[in-house]
Amino acid sequence: MPIFMDRHDLRGATAAQVAEAHRRDIDVQERYGVKYMAYWFDEHNGSGFCLVHAPDAAAAERVHREAHGQIANAIVPVDLSTVEAFLGRIGDPRAAPGAAAPAIDAGLRAVMFTDIVGSTEMTARLGDSAALELVRAHDALVRRGLDAYGGREVKHTGDGIMASFDKVANAVRAAADIQRRFAAYNAEASESLSVRIGVHAGEPVEDHNDLFGATVQLASRLCSEAEANGIVVSGLVRELSDEDAARFTALGERRLKGFAESTPVYRFEWRK
């Protein structure tokens, strides 16, 4: 059965009123062969969104009309894989006015970079708007992996994300989790996404809630060394990770740009 997303103008409504309207939809939905899966309420912008399985858009509209009379401004078919990438996250949470950014702990940590493979070609082929939607899907999937393993997003790089972890082992686990999320996404998506991931560990320099120094630079270089859908880590990350050594494939000593000494590089076999 097709999946639709509908949008409502809910300016002036409260969260409690929107929740009650959703409850009424659920009470009525079976009469029309419809199933409401989730809803979101953006109180700041006065917008509401519903995700619904329905035979067609008209059936979804009839449920709203009978349940509470709040007719959607638009009801459009959506790709399930894209929706799942965003499920539960319509937009980035807004920080409270005057709130400080989350502190980054000092000391040894792992730094991770993700990078969308072929992002420039993707933009040229699909256009800015469609490519931006894929970047947003990337962001949502990566952020879920970071959340699952205690990672902190440091900044967005345009076609990737830089993150840090207090525990090196968690960075490796998160990298594998992220690649599994992309594999699941690509199995259903009409337009697939491939990312490469690099991880290094050290003591980066912290300034204004950003990270700098050789640790960050090497992590970025390692990301560039990874193949599509791959994870590349430094020898130090391999040593500090508690993963089975058999899951790390030695790629040899690499002379990475900007570094005088060769770096032992390993591919982490996340599919094992």
Give the pLDDT confidence of 19-50 residue by residue, as tens digits.
888 888 988 898 899 888 777 777 777 888 88
| pLDDT tens digits, one per residue of 225-267 | 999 999 999 999 999 998 998 999 999 998 888 888 888 999 9
- pLDDT averaged over the chain? 85
* pLDDT for residue 12: 86
Percent of residues, the chain, with pLDDT higher than 90: 45
Contact 157, 195 (CB under 8 A): no
As a whole number of angstroms, the distance between CA 105 and CA 255 comes to 30
Mean pLDDT, rounded, for 132-160:
92
Pairwise pLDDT comparison (208 vs 52), residue with the higher score = 52
Task: Say which residue, 203 or 269, is predicted with more confidence.
Answer: 269
Check pLDDT > 90 for residue 16.
Answer: no
Question: What is the DSSP code string of the chain?
Answer: --EEEEEEE-TT--HHHHHHHHHHHHHHGGGGT-EEEEEEEETTTTEEEEEEE-SSHHHHHHHHHHHT----SEEEE--HHHHHHHTT-SSPPPPPTTPPPPPPPPSSEEEEEEEETTHHHHHHHH-HHHHHHHHHHHHHHHHHHHHHTT-EEEEE-SSSEEEEESSHHHHHHHHHHHHHHHHHHHHH-SS---EEEEEEEE--EEETTEEESHHHHHHHHHHHHSPTT-EEEEHHHHHH--S-GGGEEEEEEE--TT-SS-EEEEEE-TT-
Instruction: Report residue 160: phi and psi, to 5°.
Output: -175, -175
pLDDT value at residue 83: 57
pTM surpassing 0.85?
Answer: no
Is the pLDDT score of 96 beyond 80?
A: no
- At 82 the pLDDT is 55
- Identify which has the larger pLDDT, 94 or 78: 78
Pick the range with the lowest mean pLDDT from 101-105, 183-187, 209-213, 230-234. 101-105
Inform me whether the pLDDT recorded for 102 exceeds 60: no
Quick one: average pLDDT of 178-202?
Answer: 93
pLDDT of 174 reads: 97
Report the alpha-carbon distance of residue 37 to residue 197 in Å, rounded.
33
Q: What is the pLDDT of residue 14?
A: 86
CB 64 within 8 A of CB 25: yes
pLDDT cut 70: percent of the chain above it: 89
Confidence of residue 93 (pLDDT cuts 50, 70, 90): very low
| Best mean pLDDT range from 13-22, 100-109, 201-210, 258-267 | 258-267
